[in-house]
Amino acid sequence: MSVLSISSPTCYLTRSLSFPSSQTSRNPFQLKIQQPCMGMGKSRGRGLVVMMGSMEAGIGVMGTKLGMMSYFEADGVVVPVTIVGFKEGNIVTQIKTDATDGYNAVQVGYRRVRDRKLTKPEMGHLQKIDAIPMRHLQEFRLQNIDGFQPNQRLVLDEIFKEGDLVDVSGTTIGKGFQGGIKRHNFKRGPMSHGSKSHRQLGSIGAGTTPGRVYPGKKMPGRMGGTKTKIRKLKIVKIDKELNVLMIKGGVPGKPGNLLRITPAKIVGKNIPKN
């Protein structure tokens, strides 16, 4: 859903406009226009705030990164693949609808843990549907939520097939505090002939004007440990016996990292065209 908000700190009127998916580029969205009331004082700091959140192309699952290996295809081609394992979980814990929550979504739980690992509110939420205690809860916003029931177990081979394209999101490996060369791929300076700037950052802006460093300037700082999504990765093989998924290429994080796997968004296939 996309929200367009124009607000005033004193008083405002709100108008909502909804557009179906056929009139939008990809997903349906709603415009909320907040206008200041007339005669209620001057509006200071009026701004335009746009928040966008797209829906998934289909229901997804959560998994655990196990590592990487080489996979030999039938024609002898060697393909680097990431092995994704699945612990006990991927159970539907809640169904959210427009009538009850204002949007359609399916909440899924993953990775069974001991009862003492969860708080009482978390346990109470899962006990409403007699579900096992699970560490991770994530929502998948969908256009259609028909066919999903609370405490329903999602089956991997019913959601994905070999050859499908998926989007994989996770947390990247943290690198700590790094310099500009490693963090932003800056070039280094001369290493000899009297140079004193080997790996230094260099100029970060002008002097008196503007008299400050612009926000967003690429500088040394903490690197990694951020949420990242890799799009349109191919599923090479699904092993039902080992309950693992082989995905071509690399995915964020190190072994043991939590991954979110959803069908890839392809315009014209599972995403409407303009």
pLDDT in tens, 9-35: 344 444 444 444 444 344 444 444 444
The answer to whether residue 209 is domain-embedded is no
27 with 144, same domain: the answer is no
The answer to whether residue 105 is domain-embedded is yes
What tens digit of pLDDT does each residue of 111-132 get?
A: 999 999 999 999 999 999 999 9
Residues 135-159, mean pLDDT to the nearest whole number: 91
Q: Does residue 161 carry a pLDDT above 80?
A: yes
Separation of alpha carbons 230 and 262, rounded Å: 11
Between 49 and 141, residue with greater pLDDT: 141
126 with 233, same domain: the answer is yes
| Tally: H helices and E strands in the chain | 4, 15
Domain tally, the chain: 2
Evaluate whether 123 touches 131 at the Cβ level (below 8 Å). no
34 with 132, same domain: the answer is no
The answer to whether residue 254 is domain-embedded is yes
> What pLDDT shows up at residue 274?
62
- Name the nearest CA neighbour of 232 among 164, 140, 161, 170: 164
What tens digit of pLDDT does each residue of 48-67 get?
A: 333 334 688 889 999 999 99
109 with 150, same domain: the answer is yes
Percent of the chain, pLDDT > 90? 64
Residues 231-244, mean pLDDT to the nearest whole number: 93
> What pLDDT shows up at residue 123?
93
Separation of alpha carbons 110 and 87, rounded Å: 7
> What pLDDT shows up at residue 12?
41
The answer to whether residue 158 is domain-embedded is yes
Alpha carbons within 13 A on the beta-carbon side of 101: 11
78 with 31, same domain: the answer is no
The answer to whether residue 252 is domain-embedded is yes
CA 135 to chain centre: 18
List, in sequence order, every residue forming a beta bridge with 85; answer none if it has no partner. Answer: 64, 244
Contacts 24+ apart (CB under 8 A), 112-116: 112/87, 112/88
The number of beta carbons lying within 10 Å of the beta carbon of residue 15 is 9
The answer to whether residue 269 is domain-embedded is no
> What's the pTM?
0.74
68 with 166, same domain: the answer is yes
29 with 130, same domain: the answer is no
Separation of alpha carbons 101 and 1, rounded Å: 13
> What pLDDT shows up at residue 58?
87
Residues 163-174, mean pLDDT to the nearest whole number: 95
The answer to whether residue 43 is domain-embedded is no
144 with 229, same domain: the answer is yes
> What pLDDT shows up at residue 11?
41
The answer to whether residue 182 is domain-embedded is no
7 with 136, same domain: the answer is no
80 with 21, same domain: the answer is no
CATH number of residue 122's parent domain: 2.40.30.10
Alpha helices (H) in the chain, listed in sequence order: 98-101, 120-127, 156-159, 180-184
Determine if the peptide bond prior to 255 is cis (ω within 30°).
no
3-state secondary structure of 197: coil
Domain of residue 163 covers 61-174+224-263
Q: Does residue 179 carry a pLDDT above 80?
A: yes
